[in-house]
Amino acid sequence: MKANHSTIRLTGCRLFACTFLATTAGSIAQAPPPKLIQNPRILYSSTVRHADGGTTTYQRIEPPTAAQLAALQPAPQVSSTPAVPLPPILNVTARVYEGTLTEIKWLHNGVECRAWSSVDFRLLEAIPQFEQDGVTRRLMSITMTHRQPPAGVVSPRPWPAFPAEVLAAVPAGMRAWYVLMEYPGAQQDEAAACAPLDALHAYVEANWEALQARRVQREAQKVAEAAYKAAHPEPPPPPKDIIVQFWKEADVTTSPTSNTSGEGQP
């Protein structure tokens, strides 16, 4: 036991798009620097007006020069601080069977391990890293909750539970522990595979009360936020003016009927 800017390919065309915020409440909300071809030769332009007051303008332009395309690329970012190595990461998938146990799966050197834990992994939600025994580890977990079926309802799959002999072997007062169920790797590597899980359970045991209080606070905060959003619905977003530029690639030939944008040749 172990206790916004994108490139979209159309048929025969390459599409560049950029969104600008429209005038709202008498002021103009300034978007980041536009990522459109500057000073293009426009061969065709069409504007569609939307019910919310926004517009979408389609511009077919001459193929841009290399310099115009290069101007779309962001300036390279040079870091002034030396790179700091990241702590090791524990990546787990946790299935919480409410009221009984959590089934955990994780990988060690490409080998999938499986364990049953006494810890409700919802205690660890939004905890990006933890420190135990002087070692910091990043924690990435995907937690799924299975709720107990109502009394008298038979679950379509057996509800897992620790055997009585396992529970009897748990030291008195211990709250965070697990049972290794599957480890198909080499026997000599088992301790290394379980070391991150050992550290995580030791961390939970040492911080049990704080983690429980944190979860109660988070659940209360979720309820309060949901009530506030219900009482204060968000206003609809302001209308946007969108400009879409596209051009025909030199190495692609298409007919008007095969153009998925629905635009005829000028």
Residues 20 and 113 grouped into a single domain: no
- Domain-embedded: residue 232: no
In this prediction, residues 99-125 reach a mean pLDDT of: 95
Residue 19 has pLDDT above 90, yes or no: no
β pairing state of 89-97 and 135-146 = parallel
pTM tops 0.85, yes or no: no
Residues 111 and 209 grouped into a single domain: yes
Residue 43 has pLDDT above 80, yes or no: yes
Amino acid at the residue 174: M
Q: What is the pLDDT of residues 128-158, one digit of tens each?
A: 999 999 999 999 999 999 887 777 777 777 7
Print the domain residue range for 252: 6-73+238-258
Q: Left (φ > 0), alpha (ψ -120 to 50) or beta: where does 101 sit? A: beta
Q: Extract the tokens encoding 224.
A: 């309060």
In this prediction, residues 45-56 reach a mean pLDDT of: 92
Residues 103 and 211 grouped into a single domain: yes
Q: What per-residue confidence (pLDDT) applies to 2? A: 57
Q: What per-residue confidence (pLDDT) applies to 78? A: 77
- Domain-embedded: residue 166: yes
Residues 204 and 107 grouped into a single domain: yes
State residue 98 phi and psi, 5-degree precision.
-55, 130
Give the total number of structural domains in the chain: 2
Residues 105 and 186 grouped into a single domain: yes
Q: What is the pLDDT of residues 169-191, one digit of tens each?
A: 999 999 999 999 999 999 999 99
Q: What per-residue confidence (pLDDT) applies to 67? A: 87
Residue 9 has pLDDT above 70, yes or no: no
In this prediction, residues 190-203 reach a mean pLDDT of: 96
Residue 1 has pLDDT above 60, yes or no: no
First vs last C-alpha separation in the chain: 75
Residues 14 and 68 grouped into a single domain: yes
Q: What is the mean pLDDT of the chain?
A: 81
- Domain-embedded: residue 172: yes
Residue 49 has pLDDT above 50, yes or no: yes
Residue 36 has pLDDT above 70, yes or no: yes
Residues 63 and 176 grouped into a single domain: no
In this prediction, residues 114-130 reach a mean pLDDT of: 95
Q: What per-residue confidence (pLDDT) applies to 257? A: 30
Residues 52 and 131 grouped into a single domain: no
Q: Return the top range by mean pLDDT from 26-30, 65-69, 123-127, 153-157.
A: 123-127
- Domain-embedded: residue 233: no
- Cα 111 to Cα 107: distance, rounded to the nearest angstrom: 5
- Cα 12 to Cα 8: distance, rounded to the nearest angstrom: 11
Residues 101 and 214 grouped into a single domain: yes
Residue 98 has pLDDT above 80, yes or no: yes
